[in-house]
Amino acid sequence: MSTQTTQSTKVHAHDIPLDQIDVSDPQPFQDGTIWPYFERLRREDPVHYCGQSAFGPYWSITKYKDIMQVDTNHAVFSSEGGITILDRPEEFRTPNFISMDPPKHDEQRKTVSPIVAPGNLAKLEHLIRSRACAILDALPVNETFDWVDRVSIELTTQMLATLFDFPLQDRRLLTYWSDAATAPIGPGGMFDTEEARLAELKNCLEYFTRLWNERVNAEPGSDLISMLAHSPATRNMGPKEFLGNLILLIVGGNDTTRNSISGGLLFLNQNPDQYQKLRGDPGLITNMVSEIIRYQTPLAHMRRTALADTEIGGKQIRKGAKVVMWYISGNRDDEVIDNPNKFMIDRPRARQHLSFGFGIHRCVGNRIAELQLKILWEEALKRYPTIEVVGEPERVYSSFVHGYKSLPVRIPA
Ligand code: HEM
């Protein structure tokens, strides 16, 4: 298998003038060649200003401790202006609680938090296991197939349909809307214009509005739509805010876990010693799951907007500036994580990564995501001691969602 860094990018990343480095460009993410750019920024200019990019000027925060400083200071670093580097024009914005500050953020977050209460997780565990078993049992042996489609998408989309109590037969719509919401506009993306994206997402709104209308006058259920429809904090949302929160929950619960499931199998194949260690001790699965989520970093960044003039790492940041926390880089910071470029399933303190963020926006679904990965690996290992990656993964064209479109694999007879 090829390594993650090609020689030509390495030369380029270390030769171009610092002020020309623009890590928001989706291309090196798709090519799997982004790593040396972040290595250089961490070493030479950890709080880096990029004056010109397709997304306008922005600051990059690339070291673990600086990222923590930004993520835990929501009084200065606001989510209100949006949480991706892309600024959508006002008419295409769909507000949701990940892009809100307190107090509204806190009230809406509280509405959906019961979905991850320990009692609910315990109930979900049984269901996830039965679904994981069915998906794994149906896999072909001695034949090449796409792991992303047959396993990663299937498991996470079935799970998401359950969380929404969404008709299971239509579950692939959730995958489609999730991709539609995050794809870049233009070449390499799914749509040519924001208008075309919004037109597609209106179908999502229409579908979910039907479900809302069925549930708003029924007894409160334990699914996400019912929670949103009955809570005083969310029941009077307008259509745009409803769509925004739906997209948040769909993308949150879908792409991220999907790409961790795909990445995990890829990393085990790239590191056969670790795959061997896992076969020898399946008790390492829980730790491995955290290591997979660190190593993949399924959301490469979260963005904030400075509410006041401030300082990070000795750099003066002006009020109104866009500040991008590159979790994908902080997770490879050797000042905090030993030997960070090594995938080690028995890494000490493996859960000490940035992939779920920190502070008031820390991922609501982190325990559900970990549970899905843990169960999938427990069941996969029982059935198939080896699943071989037999070709190059096709990566997503995005500097936000860090993941895979396809991963060809084969289960030996
Ligand atoms: C927030 C990552 C799975 C729902 C976030 C944030 C990150 C993240 C980075 C923002 C943190 C911040 O700004 O400090 C991930 C990763 C996952 C995952 C890497 C899987 C490996 C899930 C799942 C769900 C979910 C399964 C839903 C079932 C959410 C929601 C928020 C969020 C609703 C917004 C929280 C807030 O603003 O208060 N996630 N996520 N995520 N995630 Fe996840």
Residue located nearest, by CA, to atom 38 of ligand 1: 361
- Report the sign of the C-alpha dihedral through residues 352, 330, 375, 387, in that order: negative
Both tokens assigned to 220 = 């409160």
Please tell me the predicted confidence (pLDDT) of residue 184.
78
Both tokens assigned to 331 = 């997770």
Taking CA atoms, 406 is separated from 146, 179, 263, 289, 369, in Å, by 6, 14, 11, 20, 20
Spatial separation of the C-alpha atoms in residues 216 and 228, rounded to whole Å: 9
pLDDT at 412 over 90: yes
- Give the position, in ligand 1's atom list, of the atom nearest the Cα of 254: 26
- Calculate the average pLDDT of the chain: 93
- Give the position, in ligand 1's atom list, of the atom nearest the Cα of 370: 21
pLDDT category, 152, cuts 50, 70, 90? very high
| Percent of the chain whose predicted confidence (pLDDT) is above 90 | 77
How many residues are listed for the chain in this entry?
A: 413
The candidate with the shortest Cα–Cα distance to 384, out of 33, 118, 136, is 136
Q: How far, in Å, from the CA of 247 to the mean position of ligand 1?
A: 12
pLDDT at 10 over 70: no
pLDDT at 6 over 70: no
164 three-class SS: helix
Beta-strand pair 77-78/301-306: antiparallel
- Give the position, in ligand 1's atom list, of the atom nearest the Cα of 99: 37
Q: Please check whether residue 355 is in contact with residue 294, taking contact to mean a CB–CB distance below 8 angstroms.
A: yes
Spatial separation of the C-alpha atoms in residues 183 and 130, rounded to whole Å: 32
Q: Rounded to a whole number, what is the distance in angstroms from the first to the last CA of the chain?
A: 22
φ/ψ of 79, rounded to 5, equals -95, -10
Q: In this predicted model, what pLDDT tens digit does every residue of 66-114 receive, in sequence order?
A: 999 999 999 999 999 899 998 877 777 788 999 999 999 999 999 999 8
pLDDT at 4 over 50: no
Q: In this predicted model, what pLDDT tens digit does every residue of 330-354 receive, in sequence order?
A: 999 999 999 999 999 999 999 999 9
Q: How far, in Å, from the CA of 364 to the mean position of ligand 1?
A: 5
Token pair 């999502």 is found at 204
Both tokens assigned to 27 = 């291309």
Q: In this predicted model, what pLDDT tens digit does every residue of 213-235 receive, in sequence order?
A: 999 989 988 889 999 999 998 98
- Other C-beta atoms lying within 10 Å of the C-beta of residue 148: 23
Residue located nearest, by CA, to atom 6 of ligand 1: 363
Mean pLDDT value of segment 137-141: 98
The single-letter code of the amino acid at 30 is: Q
Residues enclosing ligand 1, CB less than 6 A?
A: 71, 97-98, 109, 163, 248-249, 252-253, 256-257, 260, 293, 298-299, 302, 355-359, 361-365, 368-369
Q: How far is CA 269 from the centre of its chain?
A: 22
pLDDT at 314 over 60: yes
Q: How far, in Å, from the CA of 115 to the mean position of ligand 1?
A: 13
Q: How far is CA 86 from the centre of its chain?
A: 16
348 three-class SS: coil
Delimit the domains of the chain by residue range.
Answer: 7-410
Q: Please check whether residue 370 is in contact with residue 267, taking contact to mean a CB–CB distance below 8 angstroms.
A: no
Spatial separation of the C-alpha atoms in residues 174 and 163, rounded to whole Å: 12
Mean pLDDT value of segment 25-47: 96
Architecture of the CATH domain 7-410: Orthogonal Bundle (1.10)
Beta-strand pair 408-410/144-146: antiparallel
- Give the position, in ligand 1's atom list, of the atom nearest the Cα of 109: 38
Identify which of 363, 374, 375 to mutate to test ligand 1's pocket (most ligand atoms within 8 A of the CB).
363
Identify which of 364, 368, 374 to mutate to test ligand 1's pocket (most ligand atoms within 8 A of the CB).
364
Spatial separation of the C-alpha atoms in residues 263 and 290, rounded to whole Å: 12
CB burial readout 362-390, b (16+ within 10 A) else e:
ebbbbbbbbbbbbbbbebbeeeeeebebe
